[in-house]
Chains A and B, each alone.
Chain A
């Protein structure tokens, strides 16, 4: 009976992943489509041309590079800043704690159009400092990602077992060393999960980016723009490629972990 239950959970997990991946499968499928016109709605024939000439759509490649660069940079900075905030709120009692908590929730509850527009107004009033472009999009992305990082990392910090830290300090480590050697490694998976969420948010954002980008284009801005008159299969190709590269990296990571675990077990003997 427990065997069934055990496999039932795995089956369920795979089903849900299947559901999540269903549109991706369609996207990958249609990246091989060979449409006559400019839209990619009807399956007409299989071709590898789109993959060979993935760069055929003018502006597509640049927009993808900008999106990836932006995503990585903004996520890095936001994760760092957000983790610090989470640490402060969860581990310290101080005046202004409730306010800080509140301020963190506010960006998430503000509709994107007004958030983007009022940020744009700020930039426009300070043109001596800010030029609309990559820099302003970067600022905007960090701004709206921080909240998500804070809430996610907090979930790990609440109920964090402090005994390990206390043990470290009993053994003579000061607070900074304890943080570096004990807390941070334990927090790392949560920070990674939060960063993943932040990266996804950044990659997908359209409204705030569009308003604050000046002439710069990210991948969503490019797609929303061109979708009015065309949906080139190359868009599917690029999206599929990003997905497949990420999966490959994750697979590599999994294999590496299996190998390391095996080696450790052998070493232990």
Chain B
């Protein structure tokens, strides 16, 4: 086995890629191609015709600009907040938790063992107007006597943040975990303050994790629909809700398909800008 790989070194990357990419090719790219075909159709359900209807795309962008922008805004805020919340926690798990690490990693992921609906109902319970949280906030005069937390932009963004927290925390952990504690010791020995040690040693070494976490949070969050559906009002609807409605209620498959491609393209553009900013080696190594 070892010799075979050695002799066919050029083939190695392709061999490594083959099974995974084959799976994606058949079960993602083929459906995606069909989706592309759908996006250029016109007509009404179920009699669509393929008419190279590029107008679907332009109409999609102009009609749903607001929701597109809002989705990116919410996803962006959620990503930043998630990063700020998660980093100290993950730092603690990687460097201070010792044998309890896996337990705390489990705590991070545990909310997913309880289906989305159930944990959102729990949040609705906790954040209800009659509940303790709102009561406390009103007592501190952070909320007016008639204001609440639910059915607001705050609720939707908080929902997205909470929902995607593991997607930020786990990749962060992955890159923090590998940092050799001795590097930090060396920095200390060289009279660096803890803050400097962090800024000059830990932070740069954890950069791949930050990049991975932000990608794994932002990209799916932009297409999220369920938080806006359960926690928001018509003013908080995201592009995911539009696509969902177009597909299920309006039976307008071409528009749903073209909107999906618009979203994908927008995300890829954002990705390119991001890669430029952080340096593309961070994304590919």
Which residues of A come within 8 Å of B, CB atoms? Answer: 2, 5, 9-10, 12-13, 16-17, 20-24, 26-27, 30, 41, 80-82, 84-85, 87-92, 94, 97-98, 100-115, 117-119, 121-122, 139-140, 142-143, 146, 148, 150-160, 174-177, 186, 189-190, 192-194, 196-197, 199-201, 203-204, 206, 219-220, 223-224, 227, 231, 235-236, 239-240, 242-243, 246-247, 250-251, 253-255, 257-258, 261
Q: Are A146 and B107 in contact (CB under 8 A)?
A: no
Find B285's partner among A90, A143, A200, A246 (CB 8 Å cutoff): A90
Closest 8 CB pairs of A and B: A174-B2, A200-B112, A23-B122, A118-B31, A176-B2, A81-B20, A92-B13, A158-B285
Within 8 A of A (CB), among B1-45: 1-3, 5-6, 10, 12-14, 16-17, 19-21, 23-24, 27-32, 34-35, 38
A–B pairs, 15, beta carbons within 8 Å: A10-B96, A13-B104, A16-B89, A17-B107, A27-B122, A106-B264, A113-B247, A139-B27, A140-B27, A159-B208, A220-B117, A242-B113, A246-B113, A250-B105, A258-B99
Given contacts A10-B92, A105-B215, A105-B219, contact A24 B114 (CB under 8 A): yes
Which residues of B come within 8 Å of A, CB atoms? Answer: 1-3, 5-6, 10, 12-14, 16-17, 19-21, 23-24, 27-32, 34-35, 38, 85-86, 88-89, 91-93, 96-97, 99-123, 125-126, 162, 165-167, 170-171, 173-175, 177-178, 194, 205, 208-209, 211-213, 215-216, 219-220, 222-223, 225, 239-240, 243-244, 247-248, 256-257, 260, 263-264, 267-268, 271, 281-285
Question: What residues on A are CB-neighbors of B208 within 8 Å?
Answer: 154-156, 158-159
Residue among A20, A192, A240 with the highest chain B CB neighbour number at 10 A: A20
Q: Are B170 and A254 in contact (CB under 8 A)?
A: no
Find B267's partner among A97, A109, A140, A155 (CB 8 Å cutoff): A109
Find B16's partner among A26, A84, A102, A175 (CB 8 Å cutoff): A84
> Could you tell me the distance between the alpha carbons of A206 and B115 in the complex, rounded to whole angstroms?
9
Q: Are B118 and A20 in contact (CB under 8 A)?
A: no
Question: What residues on A are CB-neighbors of B260 within 8 Å?
Answer: 110-111, 114
A9 to chain B minimum Cβ distance, whole angstroms, is 5
Question: What residues on B are CB-neighbors of A30 within 8 Å?
Answer: 122
Q: Are B100 and A254 in contact (CB under 8 A)?
A: yes
